[in-house]
Homo-oligomer: A and B are copies of this chain.
Amino acid sequence: MVRDGSAAERRFEGRLRSLRSAGHRITAQRRAVLRALAMMGCACGAEDVHARARRIYPRLGLVTVYRTLAALVREGLAQTVQLDDGRVRYELRDDGRHHHHLVCLSCGSIARLEACALGRLQSAGLRRGFRVTAHRLELFGYCEDCQPSGGRHEAR
C-alpha cells in the first residue's frame, strides 16, 4: 500500500516534498492527514478527514488536522470549498487542475466539474475595471441518482 510506484503514490510523495521544502516537518500525523485527504472522493470537512486519518494514525487530534489542512491550503496543495452549512470543506488540488462543484441538494454528494467556461465573465469583470484573479463556482441541483423524475428520490 505504501511502496508501489503508482501515480497516486508519486503524487503523495510529491506533496510531502512540497511541504518539506516549504519549511514544514514531515510527521506521521501529516502523512495520515494527507493520505486521508487523498482517499476522499470529494471535498469534505475537517471532522471527516479526522475520522479517516485516525484509521491510519489513531492518536491523531482534531486540532492537528485543522493545522495540517491550513498548512496544505497555505502551500497551495489543497483548497477549500464553501457550501451553505457553516463548515469548511477541503480537497487536494490535482496539479493546478481547476474545477468546480456539482452539489446535489438531495443526497449532498459533491462531484467535480472539470469544465470551466468563465472567460466571458472574467471579461465582464474587466469591463468594469475589476481584475479577476480567481473565482469560485458551485452549482446546485440534483445528481443522476436523485433526479426527481428518475424514480428514487429521497425526502430530506
Copies of this chain, whole number? 2
- Residue of A100, A105, A116, A139 with most partner-chain B CB within 10 A: A139
Q: Is A102 an interface residue (CB 8 A)?
A: yes
**Given contacts A84-B80, A129-B144, A144-B129, A137 and B113 within 8 Å (CB-CB):** no
With a CB–CB cut-off of 8 A, which chain B residues contact A130?
Answer: 102, 104, 111, 139, 141-144
- Is A155 an interface residue, CB under 8 A from the partner? no
Interface residues on A, range: 35 or more
Q: How far is the CA of A136 from the CA of B131 in the complex (A)?
A: 19
* Nearest CB of B to A83, in Å: 8
Binds B, one of A10-18, A64-72, A117-125: A117-125
